[in-house]
Structure 1
Amino acid sequence: MKKDQLYAVVDIEATGASIGRDERMIQFACLLVRNGDIIQSFDTFVNPSRKVSRTIRDLTGITTQDLATAPYFEDIAHVIRHLLEDTIFVAHNVGFDFQFLNECLERAGLKPLSIPAVDTVELAQILYPSEDSYQLKELTASLGYKLEQAHNALSDAEATVFLLNKLDDKIRSLPLITIESLTDLSPSTTAETALFFRDALDDMLKNPCDLSDSLMIVGDMAIKKPISPTVQEQYRKQPVYPYNEEGKRSVLSHIGLDWRSGQSEMMNTLFNYLKKDTPNYTQLIEAAPGSGKTYGYLFPSYYLASKENKIIISTYTKILQKQLSADIIPVLNQKMPFSKAVAVAKSESHYLSLSAFYRKWKNTAATDTEAIFCMKILVWLTETTEGDLEEIGSGAHMAHAFWKDIRPSERLTPLPVFESYEFLHRRNRRLEESAIIIANHAYLLADWKKAQPIIQSGNVIIDEAHHLPDVIDQSATLSLRVSSLVKDLKQIGSIDKEDSILNQLDAAADSPVKDYQIRSLDSAAHILNEEWQEWSDSWIARIRQSDDYSDTVVEWKDHKIDLNALSVGMKKENKRVKATIDEMIYMGNQILELLESESEALSKEIKRLSSRLQLVIDRTQHLSEILTEMFFRQEKDSLTGIRFYSPSPWNTLTFYQYNHGSRELLHNRLHAVNHLVLTSSTLSVKGSTSYIQLALGLEQAEFSSFDSVFDYQKQGRLFVPDQQTAVGHLKRGAYASELAGQLENILKQTSENTLILFRSQETIQAVYQLLKNRPTLNRKTILAQNISGTPLKIAKQVKKAREVVVLGADSFWEGVDFPEDELKLVILTRLPFDSPDMPLVKHRHQLLSDQGMNPFVHDLLPRAVMKFKQGIGRLIRSVHDKGIWIVLDRRIIDSSYGSAFTDSLPEGLVLEEYPLDKIIDETRTFFRQTEGKD
């Protein structure tokens, strides 16, 4: 901030958040700040002369009584305008506050303000690029400030003052070369936010300081110095693994862990297996929730891993991968008697290319939208050591083509100045030097599909291994999303479309591209756009004409494509659209070859257009290759299919092809691992691991299981309604109605947050509509998958609301994490069998049948039992958790296979059968008693 300048930090609450819709102010707060200190405060409620909606009352906490005696805006307008004169206006989302205030002033007959305005949202996005959220409460909490009354104007203004000072500190901590670059790009920022950068630069030029020892200047950019992976052994010889209880207690207590007998046995089992020279079997380890599985495999790995004898640990999701690398590994490296060099393995597409970014930055005008993105990255480069673009904060802008253009590409020639500092080069060096590599299943399998895999080791630990068969199938599946080509065609545009590649090439006076070449590419792109849409429409129409299609169900539609049964017309259409794609690629490459031949004479603008066109043509070439694989090279036992999300079929239309040969390749890679450990909380069914062995083609395996430390007998109860309330055999409409009635009876008499697990999107939607219309549930916040938002959005809403009911399927059985202690009741509506009508499931079952095996026994049942165990595991996550499960599917008792589910229950958890009314009474009593004990 400029010395002695007066800043007016303002926040406004209103009857609505829209500009130009006659909304009215209900609270105004302004804090005058000079040199970082608040010197004057002004805060008042404002009578809006109208009712305030319940939503706004709940959001702000401002009541009708608060506003009844408050002044009208017209009464204080002159005071506010006078207060703000000769200041710089600051707000968190200044686009709303400044414009809304000016609307109010003009309505009161006063001139609008013409003072400079600065936006702290945009400043935070640039100067704190790695934040998860830029909402005021979440952002300031991350920076160390507790905002007690969010959406109270005075509280929000105070938080914004805190943020403004933090932003000022942050910009002054940056190197001069970075601030100079930010200032050059700052004209792209909102209102007069550029002032913030110019004032900081002026001060830095007057008082320059030395570059931080942690930074270096490369190619006009300040970047974090690479950190070499090192192993710091505090022993003169290899540390001895502590087998016995006493030895383990000593080391574990230093880490901050309690000694658990089951965990200790797991550690010893894994250590003994990894010590064998050439074991002829795979080690399977089932560790129940609460048994300490993660440390169970990390602890012995630390004693055995080395640069020469690496251990690869693969997790199911990137989130789990991040938890290991960012949360657990640092603790072990700090607390263990010795440390290990650990590297994170992710695909090339995760990393920033310094060369690609440099070219993009230098060809970006200060007024371009992309200038803001460049500013974020220039700051981030002073912080990141890995260059993983996932570190950059969230936001809708991340879908912008800019973020694809700055990643590594096979066609990209690294600039010599950056070659040894490129983040991909650093990643590869870390992988070479490390003792332990943390990967995720998708990346590991993608790497194994390469002719020369980067990750080659004889020691692999697969965590959450029950997912591995499905991830292998996904990795063996090619995918083509129709909308990806549409986006690229929009970038190419046309001669008449402003800001498109063709428009700018045609308008450039110094372009060496011939007029006929531009018009040829224009024509090819136009024809392809029309044919691509017609081709896609014909596929959607084909699916909609199928017997089992229903527009009433909002879900992903998934259908097999029998390439041999396609009509002659459809086959011709496939060939025609492929030829049109190749024609456009040819035209594009002709232009690129010409530009490449005259690259030294090209202007900055033409180089930028050439780079954009190159990326689009490369992506289109890759799409053409996938199209060839899918429709013109069908292999034995492969499966081609099509899927789309019914509310927006054209935007989500995706073709896929499962390749049995790719699956076999990945199985062979897996079998070639010398020490292979598969661990999960759900690997067995009735003590047998035959499913996972069959699914992965493992001939020899040894199985060890370790019980949970949870006391399920005290911490939870599991119920199933008696025969009179069974709904399993009713028809679809009657089932949804009866199910909704059962759920209403449970929910209206309980206040605990509830997760209801389904197997059908159609049932979710039908039950959701019924429950939403039940007056007895008015106090509940009812959220449903694919209706209330994505699983991640729903999980966030659970944090903010009370008495939440979530209706979910698929990932909600295990993949979506809710806030700790926020879930008390889990209702399983049906046992989680896969739908046998799904193309990939049908295909899998056909392959089993061809081998003389029963698909139900060898696939459907074990997969359902394992998913059931995951659903049970959603509730009790610590020794303090308490909860209830209710299973509304009588098959768990009545069917011949029911014992497969009941035998999989944790020790101490007994299935209790009562009438539904008694179950509800028992549930209420249980929660009253547990709350009283707590």
Structure 2
Amino acid sequence: MIGLNDSFENEYDENHIEIPLDTDNLVNLISTGGAMDCLTANFEQRDSQIELLKKICQSFNEDKIGVFEAGTGVGKSFAYLIPAIIWAKQNKERIVISTGTINLQQQIFEKDIPFAQKITGTKIKSLLVKGRQNYICLRRFNETVNEIDLFTEEQEELDSLQEWLKVTKSGDKSDLSFLPSESLWQKINSETDGCRGQHCPYKEKCFVMKVKKEAASAQLLVVNHHLLFADIEMRLANGYENQAVLPPYKKLIFDEAHGIENSATSFFSDCFNRFSLQKQLRLIYRSRKGNKAGLIFALETLSTEESCLGDLVNQIALLESHLTELEDVTEKLMNKNLSIRIHDNPKYDYSEVFDSFNLISADLLVINRLIGNLLNGISDEDKKVDSVWEATTVLHRLESFAAFCVNFIHWDENPDKVFWMEKGKFINYYQTPLDMSSLLHKGVFEPFSTVVCTSATLGIASNFNFWMRKNGVLFEDSKRILQDFFESPFPYNKNVMLAIPADGKGADEFNFQSYVEDVLPRLIRSSEGRALVLFTSYESLKSAYDACFSGLLRSGINLYKQGDDDRFRLLEKFKKDIHSVLFGTYSFWEGVDVPGDALSHVIIVKLPFGVPSDPVFAARSEAITKRGGSSFMELSVPEAVIKFRQGFGRLMRKSTDKGVVTILDKRLITKRYGSIFINSIPHTKVCYESISLICSKIQNLLDTN
């Protein structure tokens, strides 16, 4: 939800002389006898939080890049919010806080900022900002209502949306009492390239315009990484002093900073699939049940050029057939593979795929020329008409698709990109940046005066080199970089046991999956459910679920698995059903916050190494090898350690939690790199015993006998 805390109205003043933070005063606020103590029941001073706050103050005062790992329980959000609020207030500056997940974004805005303002005795205007695709576009909504070829289900949803629009103040999809279909929402949500801005007849009521107006007077903006990179992309093109997606700002805080590279990689990747192209073509022309519609009819009415309807319809039909051919030849090439990278590999012959892309590119050139000719024949006055504006937007998108086709065919002329294909609902074709470090340095760490990066999982073996290298921080002068670790105050030594079955198997051994399916029920029963089981592949998860379901159900333990429901509802069921178990893959290795008895046992099935066949991972590994490095030690192990730490961190969410983390993959002990994993998590009791003895110790630790 978008909302505003009580605001301190002031203009953003870039010429204001900066007033440094008084670090001692801010430390007093979170120390014994300070404001936080007075406002918090059973307050305990956290020395690690105090030290983190000091470093963040230094980052603000000295224009530093701060790289800070703060373990669970440090209280990192208040360690950065308190300096941010005071800085914004006394310097009349805007600060942006970026998170990896919507859950944390909402927690910071709805809970943490109001409390931090109480602690500081300072009120500033803060705003939670989401990407524009979350908001309904009134112009597109009304155009869709007037369509003659809607499905019945869509018409019913539109009727409900019509009622909602009478009362909503935000226009945010999350405020709806129902979830509209994805296909309908894509017809009516706000779009960057389709926005008419000041030329829109609905500009006075536009929800996105309202958010932009509020953001312009807000001093604290809470965004997610994806939206931030949309802003960065625009600033790289147009400069850092002007309005982009967000209003100007100088200081930036990343929470959940371990995910910056992944978010940037996702944002700056381009994707092509049949559905996305057909969606644009059907805006131009569509026919269903004898009804013909589309922008082409409005263009032909307004244009002085000769009609091209027949040619356009024929060319679209030809393009449709070539799209079918592309999917067919790709399906044949991929065989049983879920994804394939375009690279020099005699195993694969990509020629038929490239031939199809050539045909599609040629089709698009013809279609684009026909549309362009019609647009050129329209008067300047008529170019303000909605249908002409939208047709121009569609033309730009079709031109982008054509450019994608050309790049894909000439993949070897783009060594800084990874070109790959993936099976999903459709076959998706991607071009992904090979390396994000230079873009992140140029777009984030170089231009902003202060960048604070914090997470519970940034370092490996007591240093941040891996994270700083892949995120471009190491391009900066080392004197500008502050870095430090702040350990969790939680009693891991006392409350947590790390268990590794001595009679187990390594994930690289024969029949490892059978071993997993044999020991999982015993381990889960030993903790009477209350377990989160983390897998590295859905295939392994599904097999284990099928093998364990009936037996555990007879023991009174319910099993939930990823894919049975959406993530939020699955977690809610798991929290409420205390004697249950949840099976999940990578999306559940982080962001799962289940304090208390409902989660007392985390079982990590395999060390989370990247899949060698993953196209982007494989390309990055290959690049390291080509320059003479070790891709295993420079990429595979560090990425796996970070993910392992995230999985381990699901167990202890508050200081009184206790439980067990069981690792079924014996490589943690038998391989030399295993010590890197163990040394990267807090010190705990370690049980390297038989599975029978481990189960007995789990029962004793959790008092479940």
User: 1:671 is matched with which residue?
Assistant: 445
Show the counterpart of 1:927.
702
Amino acid corresponding to residue 708 of structure 1 in structure 2: S
Alpha-carbon distance in structure 1 between the residues aligned to 2:386 and 2:233: 34
Shift of 1:502: 5.5
8 Å contact from structure 1 (residues 284, 702) kept in 2: yes
Of 655, 677, 684, the residue aligned with 2:429 is 655
Structure 2 unmatched runs, 5+: 12-18
1:576 lines up with 2:359 in the alignment: yes
1:136-535 correspondence to structure 2 within 5 Å: 230=9, 242-245=25-28, 248=31, 249-256=33-40, 258=43, 259-276=45-62, 278-279=63-64, 282-306=65-89, 308-333=92-117, 336-357=120-141, 369-370=154-155, 372-373=157-158, 376=161, 379-380=164-165, 382-385=167-170, 387-400=171-184, 403-404=187-188, 407=191, 409-410=193-194, 412=196, 414-415=198-199, 418-419=202-203, 422-450=206-234, 451-452=237-238, 454=244, 456-489=248-281, 494-495=286-287, 497-501=289-293, 517-535=308-326
Q: CA deviation at 1:710?
A: 1.8
Superposed CA offset, 1:870-912 (max 9, x none) = 11110111123232211112222222122212222224x1222
- Preserved contact between residue 505 and residue 666 of structure 2 (Cα < 8 Å): yes
1:680 corresponding residue in structure 2: 455
Q: Decide which structure has the larger Cα Rg and report it.
A: 1
State the AA in 2 paired with 1:876.
M
Question: Pairwise CA RMSD of aligned residues?
Answer: 4.0
What's the % identity of the aligned pairs?
A: 20
Which residue, 549, 558, 561 being the options, matches 1:784? 561
Q: 1:399 to 1:596 in 2, by over 3 A?
A: farther
Establish whether residue 858 from structure 1 lines up as the match of residue 634 from structure 2.
yes
Partner of 2:520: 743
Is this contact kept in 1: 2:517–2:548, CA < 8 A? yes
Hey, what does 2:549 align to over in structure 1?
772
Give yes or no for contact 2:140–2:187 (8 Å, CA) kept in 1.
Answer: no
Corresponding residue number in structure 1 for 2:590: 814
1:320 deviates by 1.9
Which residue does the alignment assign to 1:636? 415
Contact 1:561 1:640 in 2 (8 A): yes
Instruction: Give 1:24's aligned residue.
Output: none
Amino acid at match of 2:483: F
Note closer, same or farther for the CA distance 1:327–1:398 as it changes in structure 2 (3 Å cut). Answer: farther
CA separation in 2, counterparts of 1:693 and 1:531?
45
CA distance in 2, matches of 1:569, 1:469: 33
Q: How far did 1:569 drift? A: 4.6
Would the alpha carbon gap of residues 611 and 228 (structure 1) be closer, same or farther in structure 2, given more than 3 Å must change? farther
After TM superposition, the structure 1 stretch with the greater mean CA deviation from structure 2, 825-834 or 891-900, is 891-900
Q: Displacement of 1:743 after TM fit?
A: 1.0
Say whether the 8 Å CA contact 2:339–2:614 is kept in structure 1. Answer: yes
Q: CA deviation at 1:576?
A: 0.8
Instruction: Call closer, same or farther: CA 1:586–1:225 in 2, change over 3 Å.
Output: farther
Deviation readout 1:736-771 (Å, 9 max, x if unpaired): 112111112223444222211122333223323322
Match of 2:498 among 708, 711, 718: 718
Can you list the C-alpha shifts for 1:820-854, whole angstroms capped at 9, x where unaligned?
A: 65322111111111123322112112222333332
Once the 2 structures are TM-superposed, how far is the Cα of residue 494 of structure 1 from its aligned partner?
A: 4.7
What TM-score do you get using the length of structure 2 for normalisation?
0.84
CA distance in 1, matches of 2:578, 2:501: 27
Partner of 2:648: 872
Local SS of the residue matching 1:400: helix
Give 1:228 shift: 7.9
The TM-score normalised by the length of structure 1 is 0.65
Work out whether residues 341 and 418 of structure 2, in 8 Å CA contact, stay in contact via their aligned partners in 1: yes
**1:69 matched residue in structure 2:** none
Distance 1:255 1:847 in 2: 53
Tell me which amino acid in the other structure corresponds to 1:310: R
Deviation at 1:364, TM superposition (A): 8.7
Partner of 1:25: none
Q: Which residue of 2 aligns with 1:826?
A: 602
> Deviation at 1:774?
4.5
Asked if the contact 2:284/2:296 (under 8 Å) is kept, the reply is no
Question: Aligned pair 1:560/2:341, yes or no?
Answer: yes
**Gap change, CA 1:365 and 1:635, over 3 Å in 2:** closer
- CA distance in 1 between counterparts of 2:72 and 2:631 reads 29
Aligned to 1:845: 621
Task: Label 1:618 to 1:875 Cα distance change in 2 as closer, same or farther (>3 A).
Answer: same
Asked if the contact 1:478–1:657 (Cα under 8 Å) also holds between the matched residues in 2, the reply is: yes
In the alignment, the residues of structure 2 paired with residue 378 and residue 396 of structure 1 have an alpha-carbon distance, to the nearest angstrom, of 14
Q: Does 1:541 align with 2:317?
A: no
Structure 2 counterpart SS, 1:823: coil
Deviations 1:476-500 (A, max 9, x none): 3222233222344556665463455
1:626 equivalent in alignment to 2:404: yes
Is residue 2:690 matched to residue 1:915? yes
The aligned amino acid for 1:536 is E
Q: Which has the higher contact order (CA 8 A, sep 6+)?
A: 2
Does structure 1 residue 693 correspond to structure 2 residue 468? Answer: yes
8 Å Cα contact 1:644/1:653 also seen in 2: yes
Secondary structure of 1:859's partner?
helix
Give me the whole-angstrom Cα distance separating, in 2, the residues matched to 1:895 and 1:367: 58
Matched residue of 1:460: which SS?
Answer: strand
Displacement of 1:418: 4.5
2:458 counterpart letter in structure 1: L
Aligned residues: 675
Shift of 1:226: 14
The one-letter code sitting in structure 2 at the alignment partner of 1:630 is F
Conserved? CA contact 1:476–1:663, under 8 Å: no
Q: 1:615 to 1:425 in 2, by over 3 A?
A: same
Tell me, yes or no, if the aligned pair for 1:780 and 1:802 is still in contact at 8 Å: no
Distance 1:240 1:255, change over 3 A: farther
Partners in 2 of 1:515 and 1:497 — Cα distance? Answer: 27
Q: Output the CA distance in 2 between the equivalents of 1:789 and 1:720.
A: 31
Query: Is 1:757 matched up with 2:542?
Result: no
Change (3 A) 1:686 1:345: same
1:902–1:850 CA distance, 2 compared to 1 (3 A): same
Partner-residue secondary structure (3-state), 2:473: coil
Aligned to 1:705, what secondary structure does the other structure show? strand
CA distance in 2 between counterparts of 1:775 and 1:293 reads: 39
Deviation at 1:412, TM superposition (A): 2.8
Separation in 2 of the partners of 1:713 and 1:227? 43
Task: Pick the aligned partner of 1:705 from 485, 510, 513.
Answer: 485
CA contact (8 A) 2:329 2:352 kept: no
Q: Secondary structure at the match of 2:682?
A: coil
* Displacement after TM superposition at 1:323 (Å): 2.2
Letter in 1 for 2:183: A
